[in-house]
Amino acid sequence: PSALGAGLNPQGQEIAERLGHVLAARCKEWGNEAPYVFTSTLPRAVECARIFRKECKDARVESCSALNPVDVGACHGLTLKQIREKLGKEVLEDMRKNP
């Protein structure tokens, strides 16, 4: 499976639990018992929100595909300078005009 479709590993689950504790404490501190939690639709994000809800039961969770990562293909991990070098200035300008 791809990394995008992967769930949380044990370390990720532990971090999500700790974040849930922090979220619950902050909600009480700020007087907001029912925070909104927005996630992408990736399995690991949805799982993380599910773990948050164990700690902060009134949290309202919304999964939104607009928060999913964008696939930039061959440009993944490259700086703008590296993209310019790889694609050329003209191609980059064309892409900006016609995305």
Span 13-30, pLDDT tens digits: 999 999 888 888 888 888
- Domain ranges in the chain are 3-68, 72-99
From 3.30.2270.10, 1.20.1440.230, 3.40.605.10, 3.40.50.1240, which CATH number describes the 3-68 domain?
A: 3.40.50.1240
pLDDT tens column, 59-79: 888 999 999 988 778 788 888
Rounded percentage of the chain residues whose pLDDT exceeds 70: 94
DSSP-assigned states of every residue in 26-78: HHHHHT-SS-EEEE-SSHHHHHHHHHHHHHSTT-EEEE-GGGSPP--GGGTT-
| pLDDT for position 1 | 45
Residue 4: the pLDDT is 63
Give the C-alpha distances (Å, rounded to integers) separating 88 from 52, 84, 99.
45, 5, 16
